[in-house]
Amino acid sequence: MIFPALIIGLAGSLHCVGMCGPIAMSVPVGQGSAVNKTFAYASYHIGRLSSYALIGFLFGVLGYGLDMAGLQQILSLSVGIFMLLYVWFPRFFGSLKFGGFIIRFQSRMTGHMARMLKLNRTPALLGLGFFNGLLPCGLVYVAIAASMGTYDPFLGALFMIVFGIGTIPALLGLAITGQKMGVSFRSQMRKVVPILVTVFAILFILRGLGLGIPYLSPELDQVVSSSQECAP
């Protein structure tokens, strides 16, 4: 599960450049030394990874609860179907009546971030990254669904951390150079994201089907709990 997290992060980092690039470029590093600037950017990304870890942990708890309830097949199938729908049928999600809530939530997060941007202190940079990680993002939704499919809070947190690490190189390159990648290059690379997400979605679906294929779609054992009999 960790390798897919890194691949999704790396492949989707160009999406992050478009969405979060302006924020990364506006990190208040001042005119300090290279060491200070590095520390500032590191603080921002540590804050962002912290919010991802928290989200992954919480959804990992949810996945663990569903697993304990014997719903791991349904969860795995649901995660795979969600990924396919989000990648190939975006209009379906656009028709859902979540717009008002998302707009209010995003407005609140950007308000916190605006206050953080006015300060040039480590806690403020950590806070800026943390609230940035909470902003609504389709790519993050896909990673969250996958983290829930780990059925483990700590693996869920680790999944989201690795996903976040995968997005750092492109954002860091943008912050250092102050230039965006070519439109044609970004357009070509963005075509890779749906393909990768589709592959992982199919893997989730196969795992949920339990077809008895080793490693790819192992058969889920029916665990029957029974009390031990005591000798008279």
User: Does residue 221 sit within a domain?
Assistant: no
Residue 121 lies in a domain: yes
Residue 221 pLDDT > 70, yes or no? no
Crossing angle of helices 192-209 and 2-11, in 10° steps, is 160
- Region 2-26 average pLDDT: 70
- Give residue 172's pLDDT: 75
Whether 82 is covered by a domain: the verdict is: yes
Can you say whether the dihedral through the CA atoms of 9, 83, 65, 97 is positive or negative? positive
Specify which of 115-119, 137-141, 198-202, 214-218 reaches the highest per-range mean pLDDT.
198-202
User: Domain of 86?
Assistant: 2-209
pLDDT value at 50 more than 60: yes
pLDDT at residue 52, as a whole number:
95
pTM: predicted TM-score of the whole model, two decimal places: 0.77
CA dist list (Å): 53 to 16, 44, 200: 17, 14, 21
Please provide the average confidence, as pLDDT, over all residues in the chain.
76
Average pLDDT for 73-83: 88
The answer to whether residue 153 is domain-embedded is: yes
| pLDDT above 50 (res 232) | no
Question: Is 217 within a domain?
Answer: no
Structural domain contains residue 12 = yes
Does residue 222 lie within any of the structural domains? no
Buried b (16+ CB within 10 A) or exposed e, 176-205: eeeeebeeeeeeebeeebbebbeebbebbb
What is the number of domains present in the chain?
1
Confidence band of 224 (pLDDT split at 50, 70, 90) = very low
Give the mean pLDDT of 58-65: 94
Q: Which residues contact 150 (CB under 8 A, 6 or more apart)?
A: 1, 60, 63, 156, 159
- Using CA atoms, how far apart are residues 147 and 53, in angstroms rounded to an integer? 10
Taken as a whole, the chain contains a residue count of 232
Domain assignment present for residue 225? The answer is: no
